[in-house]
Structure 1
């Protein structure tokens, strides 16, 4: 089996000694080695110290991580054999008390916040470990594992774990385009667990809906794409899986933050496998906002949850030719992270 590389390092045999500035170590290398679990105790310490390519030794690292906007080009690479070997996590929810007063809110709950453009992560896990059952007193349970607001961010072989609002793919402002690319990733959650207004492409990912023991059992996406942005969420060649009963999960619902009428969310799912947890009516209203007014569509999906239905809008072949991975990502700068793998 062919080994993939990331920043010039074989993912089949990444070690702390093999990583320096994103390239294999050489006698003349000048860029410093930055390795969490050896040089630093936490990921945030490595970020604050100015690490550009941060290796992380196997283990679980607790604590909030922020990649600020004045730190473009940061990369975090898990040095284990599998994404499960390195876990970066926190456990705040929207309603968790904030020592500074009030509560953290959804944005503040994020275990990892990415504001630095060009951020990359590979071969690790990001999690929000907030325990809903242990905190019945907290009713606002949105608990974000990763919040992205920067442009040109990419994740490969990364797991995102949480319950409600696991992955917040957003932008710095409603009309600002921020592109994010997810390749060979795993995203897990239950309610609106992929949400926001970013232009986000999920390429060959597994999207797993948890069984929360209710009906509806949850919603996969909650896009809030601004009407000025032609590209919201695209899932291409993905697998939508769940242990939830058949027909109890929706593919998405339209999120209008602060009742913004210009948030005409887009989710497109194409050439993917959808299991039976998705019913014949795949999309749901969000309060008074009708899903029929959003930009929801499918194309050539398969599986028991992809059965044809009048309530399942489909792209025409002509439309599908325009709704592709390159169309979502390229922009005016011809960004092509999908070609570099």
Structure 2
């Protein structure tokens, strides 16, 4: 396997991550590892399709960070807003790639619930077979956009406030911390997820043994587990799907669990839990539970995914 080293110092071949990606493309190398040394890399990164078996490895999510500060409300040279889809710090369109020990951040900060341009994505992914281990994702609104494809997150940290995990991909989150930032409200402090799963797809987001947390100052009963996102630009039917299995939920989670978006209500979507624990775990008419048979099927899918990296 060919190694490309990125460093802020003089002990690497490249000073930026994008330079290393471009070199792999130009060299036509397969099975390449990009080792990113400790440092904060302020840059836009795009990893296109076509690279074979890429591995992007940092020195730990507390040491290696890729960050940028775009946001949806930026006015481009053409006079249009940048938009959510183009606001990401890192775009991942490659298939069958692994990422380990890296923090991905969108550094744009705007307080409040202004949905006209506050969206600021850290990672926008469309690839199939993506694996993230020991990574961190930092942002506020729309932090992690798993737009399409399939991906697995193991032992990762994901932080934000409004719809900060969203998209149409099949995404499994195993033993991750899902951290809601404080918006300062006594009534509503955001939504953890906003799945836009295609109706034909059996699964969307699956959270397994994850810990849903928030700072101690976040008011109890103020964060929804999620809401259904039916994009106006969708070209085929959408039926949002999110499952929480054996997750621990903090006191910040809303008693009703799920809520609506636009004209779409959670009762028409595929939102389920199974054996949630913690102060935010409730069972009521608003929070549907998997049957034992359904849970067994989901667990088999999770174990199949995990076998690829363990």
When the two structures are superposed, what TM-score results if normalisation uses the length of structure 1? 0.83
Q: Does the alignment pair 1:258 with 2:236?
A: no
Separation in structure 2 between the aligned mates of residue 163 and residue 123 of structure 1, nearest angstrom: 21
Question: Alpha-carbon deviation of 1:319?
Answer: 1.2
Q: Does the alignment pair 1:109 with 2:65?
A: no
Asked if the contact 1:299–1:320 (Cα under 8 Å) also holds between the matched residues in 2, the reply is: yes
Asked if the contact 1:147–1:169 (Cα under 8 Å) also holds between the matched residues in 2, the reply is: yes
Question: Alpha-carbon deviation of 1:101?
Answer: 4.1
Q: Report Cα offsets for 1:228-264 as digits up to 9, x if no partner.
A: 0001000000000012211000000000000757210
Question: Alpha-carbon deviation of 1:69?
Answer: 1.1
Question: Alpha-carbon deviation of 1:307?
Answer: 2.1
Q: Does the alignment pair 1:49 with 2:49?
A: no
Asked if the contact 1:279–1:305 (Cα under 8 Å) also holds between the matched residues in 2, the reply is: yes
- Aligned position for 1:142: 119
Question: Alpha-carbon deviation of 1:73?
Answer: 2.1
- Aligned position for 1:6: none
Q: Does the alignment pair 1:229 with 2:201?
A: yes
| Paired positions, count | 297
- Aligned position for 1:89: 67
Q: Does the alignment pair 1:98 with 2:76?
A: yes
Query: Residues 282-293 of structure 1 correspond to what in structure 2 (within 5 A)?
Result: 282-293=257-268
Q: Gaps spanning 5+ residues in structure 2: where?
A: none
Q: Residues 156 and 144 of structure 1: is their aligned pair in 2 closer, same or farther, counting only changes over 3 Å? A: same
Separation in structure 1 between the aligned mates of residue 176 and residue 265 of structure 2, nearest angstrom: 28
Question: Alpha-carbon deviation of 1:83?
Answer: 1.2
Asked if the contact 2:5–2:37 (Cα under 8 Å) also holds between the matched residues in 1, the reply is: no
Q: Residues 32 and 207 of structure 1: is their aligned pair in 2 closer, same or farther, counting only changes over 3 Å? A: closer
- Aligned position for 1:301: 276
- Aligned position for 1:269: 244
- Aligned position for 1:5: none
Separation in structure 1 between the aligned mates of residue 68 and residue 205 of structure 2, nearest angstrom: 26
Asked if the contact 1:110–1:145 (Cα under 8 Å) also holds between the matched residues in 2, the reply is: yes
Separation in structure 2 between the aligned mates of residue 164 and residue 339 of structure 1, nearest angstrom: 31
Question: Alpha-carbon deviation of 1:322?
Answer: 1.3
Asked if the contact 1:198–1:232 (Cα under 8 Å) also holds between the matched residues in 2, the reply is: yes
Q: Residues 315 and 83 of structure 1: is their aligned pair in 2 closer, same or farther, counting only changes over 3 Å? A: same
Q: Report Cα offsets for 1:259-299 as digits up to 9, x if no partner.
A: 75721010000101000101210000101111111100000
Q: 1:198 aligns with which of 169, 182, 191?
A: 169
- Aligned position for 2:222: 248
Asked if the contact 1:218–1:250 (Cα under 8 Å) also holds between the matched residues in 2, the reply is: yes
Separation in structure 2 between the aligned mates of residue 150 and residue 339 of structure 1, nearest angstrom: 16
Separation in structure 2 between the aligned mates of residue 312 and residue 258 of structure 1, nearest angstrom: 26
Q: Secondary structure at the match of 1:107?
A: coil
When the two structures are superposed, what TM-score results if normalisation uses the length of structure 2? 0.91
> CA RMSD, aligned part only?
2.0
Q: Residues 180 and 32 of structure 1: is their aligned pair in 2 closer, same or farther, counting only changes over 3 Å? A: closer
Asked if the contact 1:154–1:337 (Cα under 8 Å) also holds between the matched residues in 2, the reply is: no
